């Protein structure tokens, strides 16, 4: 695997290194030893799959607060997504900044999202599936979110939003006083 730094500290794009032959290819998508070498959280508590019927579906922006913060490893296994992370760690030099990534079934890239960074995506194709590996269990009391259209961030979504959950639609706009819950 090749670990590529991003504009947000601790977030990496991870590119699998394909070993190809006449059968197809083989690659690793997770290695505890390499995660530790790069200072990434190697814990794995649960894995999730998100299937999205419509192009333009938005999920997020989600995170969990300290002490239940979660790191995520995200990969698009079918279709394509415009993946976005927002740094919510007070004291970080990229606090309140966001950056996008295009993850597709074809490019096989993964995104490592560290604790304290919100994550969400918009589907770029119908019938898109996303696979997540999580370092922490889902804890409803620790779960938080940002509005997908919060003016504090002005995230640029590439296509018209066609579907979003009521929960995601109704997140409050970001209020900095809540930053005490996010551990740097």
Classified as helix, coil or strand, 159 is coil
> Which residues sit opposite 57 in a β-bridge?
163
Residues for the chain: how many in total?
184
Give me the catalytic one of 62, 82, 119, 181.
Answer: 62
pTM of the model: 0.92
Q: pLDDT-based confidence at 182, cuts 50/70/90? A: low
Give the C-alpha separation, 110 to 103, whole Å: 7
Average pLDDT over residues 64-79: 96
Q: Is 132 a catalytic residue?
A: yes
pLDDT of amino acid 176: 72
> Quick one: tokens of 175?
């209020």
Give me the catalytic one of 63, 132, 137, 181.
Answer: 132
pLDDT of amino acid 57: 98
CATH architecture group of domain 2-18+27-181: Sandwich (2.60)
As a whole-number percent, the residues of the chain with pLDDT over 70 amount to 96
Cβ-based neighbour number of residue 45 at 10 Å: 12
Q: Is 62 a catalytic residue?
A: yes
pLDDT of amino acid 183: 54
Q: pLDDT-based confidence at 175, cuts 50/70/90? A: confident
């Amino acid at each position: 695997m090749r670990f590529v730094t991003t504009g947000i500290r601790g977030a990496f794009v991870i590119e699998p290194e394909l070993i190809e032959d006449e059968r197809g290819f083989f690659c690793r998508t997770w290695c505890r030893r390499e995660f530790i070498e790069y200072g990434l959280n190697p814990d794995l508590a649960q894995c999730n799959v998100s299937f999205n019927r419509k192009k333009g579906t938005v999920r997020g922006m989600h995170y969990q607060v300290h002490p239940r913060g979660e790191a995520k490893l995200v990969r698009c296994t079918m279709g394509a997504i415009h993946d976005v992370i927002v740094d919510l760690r007070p004291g970080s030099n990229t606090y309140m900044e966001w950056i996008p990534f295009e993850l597709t079934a074809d490019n096989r890239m993964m995104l490592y999202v560290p604790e304290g960074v919100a994550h969400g995506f918009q589907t770029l194709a119908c019938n898109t599936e996303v696979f997540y590996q999580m370092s922490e269990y889902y804890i409803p009391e620790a779960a938080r979110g940002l509005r997908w259209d919060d003016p504090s961030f002005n995230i640029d979504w590439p296509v018209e939003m066609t579907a979003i959950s009521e929960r995601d639609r109704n997140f409050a706009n970001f209020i900095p006083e809540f930053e005490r819950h996010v551990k740097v």
